[in-house]
């Protein structure tokens, strides 16, 4: 679209008020309980200025930076799915009248979110959930309306996290599409500003209301270099060659048993994963028994009764649950939705209490599988 422009910190702040003026609720990164989470923002004062994070298997720590960067960290425990695919919602209520009842669908609300600070892997994660909820035979209207209303201010990563592997998954760190505006934060002794790319007409309209100037070619170059550097710093890598076949052929691999000894079946990995979409429903009635409701809530393939059939669980063992999770992300997702279900954000590694590392487990299976398949 238009050539890249430059805005400064005030411009970014002004962008928030412009969006609020357009009826958006702006949500983005902020510090809470020693983590960077996504919450409503009023101004850039709410951003995690001067913070960064240290991430590794089972480890997440906030640290102070020596500068005043606003986006100097990678992804935290939250993802945008909590806004597009709410953790819980009422689907409908029902009112009884004698032996009769009527169903009253929940009114479809139409919130307008502006997401500030969406990383490349997260843009891809949203595109992946689109395939689940709106691009198939059936459409989830709650997701659809939120998705269609959303305004995206993406941010190119200035550094990679310790568990990131977007380069392996082809999902980053460079923001490529789907955004309204995309920022690269430039910070040196003399400057603190943002190189802004425009991805939509609505993005251009917002920008028109801010003080900005055309970016010079060396500034655009500098922004590109930052992203290129980030790509060199990936904390993890994953070899995805024939990964579907590898996993399908190794459903009985002994490694699954080993993982099961460490895995707590706590479901953290699925809760933090930006593409995991499973849900369950709960039926409730009030004390009179005349009013019933049905709620939809996030669920996980690690929970107790996820596969319950009368007579018991299909996946009773932790082994089978972990196997389901990993093979779904990396293998069966391809058959179901035409892409990987993993964007390499690293959250599942960081937030796994016993630090089970997805990339390492696949590597182990790959290495021993080749050994196994060699003629004896």
Ligand X SMILES: Cc1cc2nc3c(=O)[nH]c(=O)nc-3n(C[C@H](O)[C@H](O)[C@H](O)COP(=O)(O)OP(=O)(O)OC[C@H]3O[C@@H](n4cnc5c(N)ncnc54)[C@H](O)[C@@H]3O)c2cc1C
Distance CA 210, CA 187 (A): 20
Of 287 and 309, which has the nearer Cβ to ligand X? 309
Question: Which of ligand SF4, another protein, ligand X, none sits in contact with 268, Cβ below 5 to 8 A by type?
Answer: ligand SF4
Q: Which does 343 bind (CB under 5 to 8 A by kind): ligand X, another protein, ligand SF4, none?
A: ligand SF4
Nearer to ligand X, 248 or 308 (CB): 308
The one of ligand SF4, ligand X, another protein, none whose footprint includes residue 275, by CB under 5 to 8 A per kind, is: ligand SF4
Distance CA 167, CA 173 (A): 7
CB of 270: closest distance to another protein in angstroms?
A: 10
**Can you read off the two tokens belonging to residue 305?**
């009764």
Residue 343 touching ligand SF4 (CB under 6 A): yes
Phi, psi of 127 (to 5 degrees): -60, -35
The verdict on 280 binding ligand X (CB under 6 A) reads: no
CA distance 4 to 175: 14
Angle at 153 between CA 219 and CA 197, to 5 degrees: 30
Backbone angles phi, psi at 256, to 5 degrees: -60, -35
The one among 309, 312, 335, 375 contacting ligand X by CB under 6 A:
309
DSSP tag of 95: E
Structure-token pair, residue 61: 């720590």
Judged by CB, which is closer to ligand X: 108, or 309? Answer: 309
Contact partner at residue 320 from ligand X, ligand SF4, another protein, none, CB < 5 to 8 Å by partner kind: another protein
Q: Angle 201-208/9-21 helices, nearest 10 degrees?
A: 110
How near is the Cβ of 200 to ligand X at its closest, in Å?
42
310 near ligand X (CB under 6 A): yes
Helical spans, DSSP H, in the chain: 9-21, 81-84, 120-133, 141-149, 166-169, 201-208, 217-232, 243-249, 255-262, 268-272, 318-327, 333-337, 347-350, 358-373
In DSSP terms, which residues pair with 38 in a beta bridge?
A: 29
To ligand SF4, the closest distance from the beta carbon of 158 in angstroms equals 19
# of chain residues touching ligand X (CB under 6 A)? 3
Q: Does 269 bind ligand SF4 (CB under 6 A)?
A: yes
Q: Report how far residue 114's alpha carbon sits from residue 27's, in angstroms, rounded to the nearest whole number.
A: 6
308 binds ligand X (CB under 6 A): yes
Please say which residue, 12 or 343, places its beta carbon nearer to ligand SF4: 343
Question: How many whole angstroms separate alpha carbon 269 and alpha carbon 276?
Answer: 9
Residue closest to ligand X (Cβ): 310
Under the criterion CB under 6 A, does residue 303 sit at the interface with ligand SF4?
no
Q: Which residues have C-beta within 8 Å of that of residue 76, sequence separation ≥ 6?
A: 29, 35, 36, 37, 38, 53, 60
Q: Work out the number of other CB atoms within 10 angstroms of the CB of residue 320.
A: 17
Q: Binding partner of residue 140 among another protein, ligand X, ligand SF4, none, CB under 5 to 8 Å per kind?
A: another protein
Q: Which stretch binds ligand SF4 (CB under 6 A): 25-33, 175-183, 185-193, 340-348?
A: 340-348
Residues in 178-237 that interact with ligand X by CB under 6 A: none
Instruction: Print the binding letters for residues 36-75 with ligand SF4: x by CB under 6 A, - otherwise.
Output: ----------------------------------------
Q: Which residues bind ligand SF4 (CB under 6 A)?
A: 263-269, 272-275, 302, 322, 329, 342-348, 352-354, 356, 358
Q: Which residues bind ligand X (CB under 6 A)?
A: 308-310
């Amino acid at each position: 679209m238009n050539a890249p422009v430059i805005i400064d910190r005030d411009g970014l702040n002004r962008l928030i008020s412009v969006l609020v003026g357009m009826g958006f609720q702006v949500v983005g990164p902020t510090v809470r309980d020693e983590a960077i989470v996504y919450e409503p923002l009023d101004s850039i004062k709410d951003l995690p200025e001067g913070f960064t994070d240290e991430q590794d298997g089972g480890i997440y720590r906030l640290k102070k930076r020596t500068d005043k960067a606003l986006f100097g960290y990678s992804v935290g425990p939250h993802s945008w799915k909590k806004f597009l695919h709410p953790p819980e919602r009422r689907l409908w209520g029902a009112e009884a009248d004698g032996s009769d009842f009527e169903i009253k669908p929940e009114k479809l609300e139409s919130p307008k979110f502006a997401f500030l600070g969406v990383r490349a892997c997260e843009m891809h994660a949203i595109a992946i959930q689109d395939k689940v909820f709106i691009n198939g035979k059936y459409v989830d209207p709650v997701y659809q309306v939120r998705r269609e209303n959303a305004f995206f201010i993406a941010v190119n990563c200035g550094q990679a996290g310790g568990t990131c592997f977007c380069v392996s998954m082809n999902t980053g760190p460079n923001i490529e599409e789907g955004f309204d505006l995309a920022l690269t934060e430039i910070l040196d002794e003399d400057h603190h500003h943002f190189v802004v790319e425009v991805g939509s007409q609505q993005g251009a309209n917002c920008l028109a209301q801010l003080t900005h100037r055309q970016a010079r070619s060396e500034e655009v170059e500098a922004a590109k270099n930052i992203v290129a550097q980030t790509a060199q710093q990936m904390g993890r890598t994953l070899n995805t060659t024939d990964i579907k076949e590898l996993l399908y052929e190794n459903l009985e691999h002994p490694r699954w048993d080993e993982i099961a000894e460490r895995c707590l079946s706590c479901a953290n990995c699925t809760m933090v994963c930006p593409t995991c979409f499973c849900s369950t429903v709960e039926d409730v009635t009030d004390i009179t028994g005349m009013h019933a409701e049905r709620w939809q809530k996030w669920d996980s393939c690690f929970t107790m009764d996820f596969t319950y059939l009368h007579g018991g669980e299909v996946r009773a063992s932790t082994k089978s649950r972990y196997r389901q999770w990993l093979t779904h992300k990396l293998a069966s997702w391809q058959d179901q939705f035409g892409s990987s279900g993993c964007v390499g954000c690293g959250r599942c590694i960081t937030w796994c209490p016993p630090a089970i590392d997805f990339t390492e487990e696949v590597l182990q299976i790959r290495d021993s599988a080749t050994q196994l398949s060699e003629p004896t």
